[in-house]
Amino acid sequence: MATLKEERYIGKNGTRLETVRGRISKLSPGYLYILPWVIGFLLFQLYPFVTSFIYSFTDFSILKPMSFVGLDNYKKMFTADRLYWTSLKATFKYVLIAVPGRLIFALFIAMILNMKLKCINFFRTVYYLPSILGGSVAISILWRFLFSRNGTVNVLLKALGIPPVDWLGNPNLALGTMGLLVIWQFGSSMVLFLAGLRNIPTELYEAARVDGAGSVKVFFKITLPMLSPIIFFNLIMQTINAFKEFNAPYLITQGGPLNSTYLYGMMLYENAFAFLKMGYASAQSWVLFAIIMLFTALAFKSSPYWTYYEDGGDF
């Protein structure tokens, strides 16, 4: 005898469409497959996300029991932290150097690698290499040596008769030197640009050439507009990454000299792990989150005015 529940799954012509058990067994492999991700997400993203929000209203200091302090952490950040604005300023400067620098450089290299040259695949691999190495600690340390007073860069300059420069010791140059490291790791943006370039229909170029357009005009009137969705994507991803930058200042300059590379990530880390102010650091990370959200929202809002989608651009 069919139970009530099962009856619902009996079709009009009397055939059994599906049993409950059958349906679950069909679904469960799906859940099973996504389970590692779900666990990872809950453990490493949602949990820290929620707890850090709670911590941001406390004086949590890792070892001592915490107590709630209301909005004190947020107030202190804007009014009583001597380095907060310095750090914020350095971070914005860094974003302004690193993001456009990296996008322009990545696009430039992608254009070169899009040419029909011999051994082009070899060169594409070679140019991608810095990105594989780039995030590593070793490269940041290598950067220190390259740009130190007796480093390779100064040796090359000396050969050209230029006096040595304190790339990382001069407060006016340190941030830019660090920016170079990020610009140098252009690989992932470059690959996306390359894919975008290869997707631009050649007939557009041919038509433009027939109409007598020069290379510069072709670049600005065809290449750039056709690449704009990819520029948009890269812009958002790179901006987020630049705001969160931690490795480079931590490993290369420790935030110095004169706090000129004391980026937001570095300040967060110091407050949390050097000064034991976890609650305060959590509040700072939420403000950073808000800043990143704001910039992302602005980019999305502005995108209809400068991105071009062949299909109208609905997402």
| List of residues contacting another protein (CB under 8 A) | 5, 20, 23-24, 27-28, 31, 35, 38-39, 42-43, 47, 51, 60-66, 80, 82, 144, 148-150, 166, 168-171, 254, 256-259, 269-270, 273-276, 278
Closest approach of Cβ 162 to another protein, in Å?
Answer: 16
Closest approach of Cβ 256 to another protein, in Å?
Answer: 6
Question: Which residue, 157 or 291, is less far from another protein as judged by CB?
Answer: 157
Closest approach of Cβ 76 to another protein, in Å?
Answer: 8
Closest approach of Cβ 84 to another protein, in Å?
Answer: 13
Question: Which residue, 38 or 290, is less far from another protein as judged by CB?
Answer: 38
Question: Which residue, 231 or 272, is less far from another protein as judged by CB?
Answer: 272
The C-alpha atoms of residue 83 and residue 269 are separated, in whole angstroms, by 13
Question: Which residue, 83 or 237, is less far from another protein as judged by CB?
Answer: 83
Closest approach of Cβ 101 to another protein, in Å?
Answer: 23
Distances (CA, A) of 216 to 74, 105, 221: 49, 17, 8
Question: Which residue, 219 or 269, is less far from another protein as judged by CB?
Answer: 269
Question: Which residue, 43 or 117, is less far from another protein as judged by CB?
Answer: 43
Closest approach of Cβ 87 to another protein, in Å?
Answer: 13
